[in-house]
Amino acid sequence: MGDSLFQLPDELLFTTLSQTFPCRDAQIRAVATLLHPLAAPCQNLVIHGTEATGKSAIIATLLQALQDDTEKDQPLLRYVIINSIECITARHLYESTIAKVAEALQWQGAATRCDSVSQMVVELSKMLKYPSYPDNFRFVLVFDGIDRPREAPITLLPALARLSEIIPRITSVFIATSPPASFLRTSFVPCIEFPNYTKNEFVTILNTTSLPTAPLPTTTIQETTELWNRFTGAVHDALARAASRTLPSLQHACTSLWPRFTAPILAGTHAPREFSKLMVAARVHFQDESLLDPGIVAIQSYSSSSTTTQAQAKDNTAALPSAPPSQANTPRKVQSTTTTPSKPKSTANPFVSATTTDLSTLLPPTARLLLLASYLASHNPTRHDLVLFSTFHHGRRKRRGGLSVGMGRGGHRGAQSKHRKIARKLLGAHAFVLERMLAIFTAVRGEWDPKWLDKDVSNREMDADIEMAIATLASLRLLIRVGGAAAGGVAGDQMDRGGKWRCNVGWEVVRGLGRSMGVEVEEWLVE
């Protein structure tokens, strides 16, 4: 009560915070001023900045610190943080807000059902507006990631921004990536930006957070620290400036490059002070794309013996260059530089051989044929079907060669070829009717599958195996049903011959598939 009208939070609080979150002093002070109940509490506050700039973490820690700081005999500040990503529906958001507020205030008997914003306002008013609280009491509602709500009505944000008009004790904090102008539809909302770190800040942070704890052998801790310092700067210049702009990705790049960078020191060829020589030696590693896009497989081959696993997992990125060539996310460039490409660690399972990413080894022949047929159906116009696949007039069907030659020499090149400049295979796949694809399938099958011709005629029609293959391809999303159930007419069954489909694999894959069966798909494509 006796306190002065304006009082900044304790300086000690800032010191501890800026130790945990280096290089964010200005933001911390600004936010603290705007949230502290005795300083300049505001009604709404927008915190924005790109990812991994410390928005959520700083707000959470700061609020906890402020709450502890102002806690004397009476509570002056309470807060809740609602993570919008965790809220599936708007109702979920309302209900978890109310539940969390009730928990923070230790309020008994809060409503469990809340369908709309107005109901939430009523509930919040019950808890925050009418009961008596000490003077200057503030309640902070933090909505984290509020720019990406699921199934939220468009009025949600303006409504939340007006909460404090109805309940003056409330401060709403909105954390967003980049708020559009006046997205809260209200004026005078202070915005605090958390900008991305600069190079110096990055280096400082990396020095404090992820400095290698153990010094390198044959060097002192002093030398290691210095080397790390210069190393992080170099990594920043090489990678962060252009591509990986966030702190975690830079951190990841540094930690995974470090073992490779210091390998010459361990080998004894370079001293830790010869930074430029080390840089030259490690230049190839800086070109490794996996630093920027680590991919989803962190452990290349997993063996059940846990000791090797641990070691492997620790320097998994160091092991990357020696990974087998079949793993596609291993960068090609690095492989040429490795001196001794060691064999991948043999797994405990003797049956497992190197897996290939090639579809042609994964799919059985029938499925492959169907996929090729559907690619043809997707990429050839219907009017050319007769020319390509008919065996009626000629013993052999005319292929692309005959067609294009005829068109090229003939006087009527056709207006169509003039205005279509883009090769058809570069255009997206067109939808086709299932019956047409099956007709193409039966036509090309005789040509491509020698076994098919040996079969006796009664066995040559559509059987359940083919339908099973179609269903499998559909479940693998290699074939896609277009138009949904409505297009089917009757019930939209997958086997409906009138249904429309589209081939979902690209040219490269199809060419590979075709070659695996001895077919040049290009010959069967018109144009």
Taking CB under 8 A as the criterion, which residues in 336-365 touch other proteins?
Answer: 347-349, 351-353, 355-357, 359, 362-365
Please give the residues from 394 up to 413 whose contact with other proteins meets the rule CB under 8 A: none
Q: Pick the closer one to other proteins by CB: 29 or 345.
A: 345
CB of 451 to other proteins, least distance (A): 8
Are 111 and 123 in contact by the 8 Å Cβ rule? The answer is yes
3-class SS at 423? coil
430 to 469: interface string for other proteins, x by CB under 8 A: -----x--xx--x--------x---------xxxxx--xx
Are 397 and 442 in contact by the 8 Å Cβ rule? The answer is no
Count of other CB atoms within 10 angstroms of residue 139: 24
Residue 234 to residue 241: CA distance in whole angstroms: 10
Q: Pick the closer one to other proteins by CB: 75 or 365.
A: 365
Q: Pick the closer one to other proteins by CB: 98 or 281.
A: 98
Please give the residues from 143 up to 202 whose contact with other proteins meets the rule CB under 8 A: 150
CB of 295 to other proteins, least distance (A): 6
Q: Pick the closer one to other proteins by CB: 7 or 357.
A: 357
CA of 82: how far to CAs of 111, 270, 351, in Å?
18, 52, 49
In sequence order, which residues have a C-beta less than 8 Å from that of residue 516 and are 6 or more positions away? 358, 360, 361, 368
Q: Pick the closer one to other proteins by CB: 99 or 271.
A: 99
CB of 294 to other proteins, least distance (A): 7
Tell me which of 92, 169, 398, 424 binds other proteins, using CB under 8 A.
92
Tell me which of 134, 341, 381, 489 binds other proteins, using CB under 8 A.
489
Q: Are strands 138-144 and 77-83 parallel, antiparallel or unpaired?
A: parallel
Are 481 and 459 in contact by the 8 Å Cβ rule? The answer is no
Backbone angles phi, psi at 93, to 5 degrees: -60, -50
Tell me which of 125, 204, 225, 472 binds other proteins, using CB under 8 A.
472
CB of 485 to other proteins, least distance (A): 13
CB of 472 to other proteins, least distance (A): 5
Tell me which of 77, 321, 496, 500 binds other proteins, using CB under 8 A.
496
Are 216 and 265 in contact by the 8 Å Cβ rule? The answer is yes
CB of 305 to other proteins, least distance (A): 9
Tell me which of 159, 271, 476, 480 binds other proteins, using CB under 8 A.
476
CB of 353 to other proteins, least distance (A): 8
CB of 316 to other proteins, least distance (A): 7
In degrees, rounded to 5, the angle at the alpha carbon of residue 476 between the alpha carbons of residues 471 and 478 is 90
CB of 103 to other proteins, least distance (A): 9
What is the distance, to the nearest Å, from the Cα of residue 74 to the centroid of all Cα atoms in its chain?
Answer: 45
Q: Pick the closer one to other proteins by CB: 296 or 415.
A: 296
Q: Name the nearest CA neighbour of 129 among 80, 85, 163, 106.
A: 163
Residue 388 to residue 385: CA distance in whole angstroms: 5
CB of 235 to other proteins, least distance (A): 17
Dig out the tokens for 423 from the structure: 């090769």
Backbone angles phi, psi at 464, to 5 degrees: -65, -25
Q: Pick the closer one to other proteins by CB: 12 or 328.
A: 328
Please give the residues from 93 up to 152 whose contact with other proteins meets the rule CB under 8 A: 95-96, 99, 112-113, 150
Tell me which of 185, 273, 277, 497 binds other proteins, using CB under 8 A.
497
Please give the residues from 269 up to 328 whose contact with other proteins meets the rule CB under 8 A: 293-304, 306, 309-310, 313-314, 316, 328
Q: What is the dihedral of CA 285, 288, 290, 291, to 10 degrees?
A: 60
Q: Pick the closer one to other proteins by CB: 200 or 308.
A: 308
Count of other CB atoms within 10 angstroms of residue 208: 12
Secondary structure letter of residue 345 according to DSSP: P
Residue 262 to residue 216: CA distance in whole angstroms: 8
Please give the residues from 32 up to 91 whose contact with other proteins meets the rule CB under 8 A: 83, 85-86, 88-89, 91
Residue 252 to residue 155: CA distance in whole angstroms: 40
CB of 211 to other proteins, least distance (A): 15
Dig out the tokens for 305 from the structure: 């013996």
Tell me which of 27, 366, 374, 378 binds other proteins, using CB under 8 A.
366
Backbone angles phi, psi at 240, to 5 degrees: -70, -35
